[in-house]
C-alpha cells in the first residue's frame, strides 16, 4: 500500500503465505484508489526481461536475452526450468513473468498474454498453469479470440487428488472444477500447443521458433 501511495507503477509482492483475505483487500483497494499501479504476486518469483531488468529472484544467469519467446507462469520452479532449457537451445526470452499461485493474483494470465500480444518483439508465448481456479480456462478463451501468436502450455497437477491443496494456496481441485485435464482440454480447444511435461513445452516452442517472423 505504501508503494502504491508513493505512485510506483509496479509493485512485486514475492511474499508467500499472505492470507487470501488480505490479498483480496489490497488488490481491490489498489485497483480502486491507485489504478496506475500494477501488483505482481503475491507468492511469485517476480519478473525478468533478460539483459534489461530483473525484479524478484528469477535466476538471470540461465536466461538468454533477446526473444522471441515470452513466458507467463503460476509456478516459480517450472519457470526456472523452462528458462534454462530454452537457453540451452539458444532461444532467447523477451520477458518472463511469474504471476504466482495464490487465489487472488494481482496480475493474471490474461494481463500478460495481452501484453505479449501487443509486444512486437515477442513472437510466441509459453504459459505454465496449474490446478485450481479458472484462470487457465479464461486464458484459453482470450487466446482463442484475441491472439494470433502461437502459445505452448503445460498444466501442473495432473495426478493431484480432489480436495487436497497442492503446493500453492490456489492449487486445489474443488467441486470437480479446476482439474488439470479440464484446463488442458480448454487450452487445446483454443489452439494452444499443450505439452505433457515442461520439457515438451520447450521442445514445442523450439520447433516453432524457426517459423516465426
How many whole angstroms from its chain centre is CA 30?
A: 21
How many angstroms separate the CA atoms of 184 and 190, rounded?
Answer: 10
Angstrom distance (rounded) from CA 33 to CA 11: 15
Please report, in tens digits, the pLDDT of each residue of the chain (213 residues total).
999 999 999 999 999 999 999 999 999 999 999 999 999 999 999 999 999 999 999 999 999 999 999 999 998 888 999 999 999 999 999 999 999 989 899 999 999 999 999 999 999 999 999 988 889 999 999 999 999 999 999 998 776 666 665 566 555 555 555 788 889 999 999 999 999 999 999 999 999 988 886
**Contact criterion met (CB below 8 Å) for 198 and 208:** no
Strands 68-73 and 92-98: parallel
Residue 131's pLDDT is: 86
- Between CA 76 and CA 19 the distance in angstroms is 19
Which three-class secondary structure state does DSSP give residue 77? helix
pLDDT at position 76 is 87
What pLDDT, on a 0 to 100 scale, did the predictor assign at position 139?
A: 97
Q: Quick one: how many helices (H) and strands (E) in the chain?
A: 7, 9
Distance between CA atoms of residues 95 and 116, nearest Å: 9
- The per-residue pLDDT for 171 is 52
| Separation of alpha carbons 171 and 191, rounded Å | 24
Radius of gyration of the chain (CA): 16
Rama region for 167: left / alpha / beta (φ>0; ψ in -120 to 50; rest)? left
Which structural domains are found in the chain, ordered by start?
44-211 (3.40.50.261)
Catalytically annotated residues: 168
Q: Take residue 20 and report the three cell numbers written for it.
A: 487470501
Amino acid at each position: 500500500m505504501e508503494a502504491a501511495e508513493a505512485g510506483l507503477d509496479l509493485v512485486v509482492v514475492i511474499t508467500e503465505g499472505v492470507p487470501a483475505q488480505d490479498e483480496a483487500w489490497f488488490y481491490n483497494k489498489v485497483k480502486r484508489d491507485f489504478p496506475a499501479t500494477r501488483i505482481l504476486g503475491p507468492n511469485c518469483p517476480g519478473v525478468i526481461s533478460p539483459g534489461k531488468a530483473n525484479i524478484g529472484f528469477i535466476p538471470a544467469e540461465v536466461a538468454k536475452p533477446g526473444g522471441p519467446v515470452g513466458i507467463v507462469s503460476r509456478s516459480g520452479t517450472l519457470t526456472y526450468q523452462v528458462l534454462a532449457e530454452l537457453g540451452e537451445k539458444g532461444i532467447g526470452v523477451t520477458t518472463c513473468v511469474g504471476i504466482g499461485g495464490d487465489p487472488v493474483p494481482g496480475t493474471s494470465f490474461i494481463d500478460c498474454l495481452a501484453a505479449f500480444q501487443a509486444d512486437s518483439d515477442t513472437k510466441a508465448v509459453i504459459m505454465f498453469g496449474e490446478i485450481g481456479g479458472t484462470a487457465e480456462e479464461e486464458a484459453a478463451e482470450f487466446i482463442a479470440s484475441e491472439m494470433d501468436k502461437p502459445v505452448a502450455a503445460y498444466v501442473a497437477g495432473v495426478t493431484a487428488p480432489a480436495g487436497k491443496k497442492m503446493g500453492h494456496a490456489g492449487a486445489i481441485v474443488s467441486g470437480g472444477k479446476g482439474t488439470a485435464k479440464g484446463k488442458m482440454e480448454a487450452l487445446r480447444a483454443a489452439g494452444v500447443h499443450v505439452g505433457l511435461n515442461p520439457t515438451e513445452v520447450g521442445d514445442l516452442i523450439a520447433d516453432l521458433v524457426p517459423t516465426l517472423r
